Amino acid sequence: MSKGFSFNGKHTREMDILVADLKMPLVSNMKDTYESVPGRDGNILFPGWLEDKRIECTLGVRCTRSERIAKLREVARWLYTRERKQLIFDTSPDVYYVAKVAGQVDVEHLQGISLVKVAFQAEPFAYSVNKTGVSKQITASDKQVTLVNNGTYDVFPLIKVSNANTNSLSLTLGNDKLTISNALQTSDVLTIDCDGMTVLLNDTNILDKTSGTFLTLRPGTNIMTVEAQNTLNISVEWRERFL
């Protein structure tokens, strides 16, 4: 018998539900393509993307015969969502999946318990419950920020720059470089969302003053270099992802 989980804001223990036969792939199916070339040994690999992860389990809903209909209706109401919701397993309370029940939910009635077969279709990653962040003052003699991604997959950070007085700003991380060609004043707050691919100066979109590539944090230690005319404050925030 597996430990329980929370989904859609409610835990299985709140509903007196047992969880069994939990099946979860270690890594989602990879949508790779292989092409054969006449006269050449083997195939050429064209790497693809990760597909959604399918998570299956059996819920043991404990109830008497007279309680059965009402209890199962309560379970159905809990499981039914129009959007994906957070799914957190007791075995890994530090991460959550973003999932929705997939397909038909079947039930088998036994003496004193009903067995409900459930399958979730989840995004291919588990996300850290807590975000990670680093803040630093950038000076002429110290322009680098160390960012450690303890996850097992790439993430796209949220970067905020404040207290700057510069005519331009460049951020370099690995092979990625992003340049802002708009002047920044000390009262401004520049927000760079590398996931949503937006750049806001205060509340104004300045994507047209931005060139280069939005930054990606790879698993492990990353060094970001900041180029500007004067001292500034920078903060970087991200949510780690796990395969």
Q: Mean pLDDT, to the nearest integer, of 7-18?
A: 95
Under the banding of pLDDT at 50, 70 and 90, the label for residue 18 is very high
Cβ–Cβ under 8 Å, residues 209 and 170: no
Task: Kindly list the distances between the CA atom of residue 78 and the CA atoms of 7, 57, 73, 82, 189, in Å, as whole numbers in the listed order.
Answer: 8, 15, 9, 12, 42
Specify the residue for token string 């970001």: 224
Assigned CATH class of 132-242: mainly beta
pLDDT at 128: 98
Per-residue model confidence as pLDDT tens digits over 40-58:
888 999 989 999 999 999 9
The domain ranges of the chain are 5-128, 132-242
Q: What is the pLDDT of residue 1?
A: 55
CATH class of 5-128: mainly beta
| Single-letter code of the amino acid located at 211 | S
What mean pLDDT comes out for the span 205-234? 96
**What residue spans of the chain are helical by DSSP H?**
68-79
CB neighbours (10 Å) of residue 31? Answer: 11
Answer for the pair 16, 58: CB distance below 8 angstroms, yes or no: no
Report the mean per-residue pLDDT for the chain. Answer: 95
Asked whether residue 39 carries a pLDDT value surpassing 90, the answer given is: no
Percent of the chain with pLDDT over 70: 99
| Per-residue pLDDT, 64 | 87
Summarised one tens digit per residue, pLDDT across range 97-147 is 999 999 999 999 999 899 999 999 999 999 999 999 999 999 999 999 999
Tell me the β-bridge partners of 171: 178, 226
Q: What would the two tokens of residue 131 be?
A: 């975000």
Give the model confidence (pLDDT) of 82-98 as tens digits. Answer: 999 999 999 999 999 99
- Tell me: the pLDDT tens digits for 150-195? 999 999 999 999 999 999 999 999 999 999 999 999 999 999 999 9
Mean pLDDT of 3-32: 94
